[in-house]
Amino acid sequence: MSLAHAANFVSLHQSPLRIALPPAAGSYDYTFNTKIGFKQQYAPEGVTGCAIGYSTGGCAFPGGGSLALPEFTGYQLQYKEFKIYIPAGSRSFMFSGYAPQATESAFALRYGSAPVREAALGTAEYQAVKSTEQIDSTFSRLVNEPAADHLVVHDGGGTVRFVGGQLDASKGSTSQGNWLYVRQLSGTPLYDIQGAIDVDLAKYAAGYAAIVWTTSTYPDPVDAPSPATGTVSTTDQQTTAATTTTASASVATLATAVLSTDGQPLQLGITLAQTAADVAANPKISAWVAARIPANGQSFLSDLWFFRKGDGTWASQVPADAEAVAFASQVANTATLRFTPSLDFTEAEMRAVNAEVHFGYKTSTGAFVSKGKIWPQ
């Protein structure tokens, strides 16, 4: 059963973005706006002509706006797979982290889909990347080569620079938004991550309005490119093609909604949609709902997995017959199946331990399909 091994790219935008507000006259006491989720963090408002959203980092170019990434700090950085949304209208992108000195860390990046590379770099390959990488042109190369992995390594100092540079020399910008996926291949966890995106304000606002949002409490863009605004460039067409190919390989689609209210135990509505051919081929289906608590520097050294059973109890071990810990076992299959697990703990309690909810199902042929993390999105 591969549920515990699915790729799990954590959105940096689910980390709180704290923006200091000006103190009252004569006071040195600062208050903060704290926003979670890309939709809240980067709504196109603020000072017209420069600032956008709740970040006021200044303008890299005249007429542009600066989006500061949430600083992903502390134990949260134990995550080895994370993602950042690069919105429509992005003209430049700077992104870095901090790692212990004299350590060797390697990362695979890909724009629009998850990197394929999982294996660590050999010694010669690591040195080759270290001596040839050109970070100041990485942003342009990522966007223009959406079907390729891009490798970045730690040079032995403190700062790890991942991405830098403008999209092009003419201050051009992306015409659609998409995710940048980062997988750490080796090395010790990063201390923090920070960065900034410079955008064309008008194009950004139009692109923001076209984003399709997740249904979570703190919405992010869905894991697909947003609709293009204005003229579609060759780059954006390449990205769309790459993403469409990936999506078409998945026979079933999954949608997740939060059904509970604040302060109540978290309850999810999970809707699995399948084709008529899939239903005909698989008259029975089983489904698993699991909560994952990452090690994250806690007292335990590896991830903890708990399976929510159909009787409303939890199991921490997977027996030889995994059906025993299924949320739904061998139920009649239909084109649309809906599961509504209640998870005993409130959303705040789940987030306090960085818990995630994962979902997977098994067809009549015995093939297991992991849909990976479904909450938080």
The tens digit of pLDDT for each residue in 176-219 reads: 899 999 998 888 777 777 888 888 877 888 888 889 998 888 89
Report pTM: 0.59
Q: What is the dihedral of CA 172, 175, 179, 183, to 10 degrees?
A: -40
Please give the pLDDT value at position 169: 79
> Which DSSP symbol is given to 226?
P
Q: Please state, in angstroms and rounded to a whole number, the distance separating the CA atoms of residues 72 and 193.
A: 5
pLDDT in tens, 51-65: 454 344 444 444 456
Q: Is residue 377 within 8 Å of 256, Cβ to Cβ?
A: yes
Q: Is residue 236 within 8 Å of 174, Cβ to Cβ?
A: yes
pLDDT-above-70 percentage for the chain: 78
Q: Which is it for the CA torsion 47, 53, 54, 55, positive or negative?
A: negative
pLDDT in tens, 310-350: 888 988 766 667 788 899 988 898 889 999 999 999 999 99
* Length of the chain (residues): 377
Please give the pLDDT value at position 221: 92
Which residues in 289-324 are b (16+ Cβ under 10 Å) and which e?
bbbbbbebeeeeeeeebbbbbbeeeeeeebeeebee
Please give the pLDDT value at position 241: 39
For strands 178-186 and 265-273, give the pairing: unpaired
Residue type, 146: P
332: enclosing H helix or E strand: strand 328-332
Q: Please state, in angstroms and rounded to a whole number, the distance separating the CA atoms of residues 243 and 215.
A: 21
Structure tokens belonging to residue 225: 């490119």
Q: Higher confidence at residue 299 or residue 142?
A: 142
Please give the pLDDT value at position 320: 61
Region of 58 please: left (phi>0), alpha (psi -120 to 50) or beta.
Answer: left
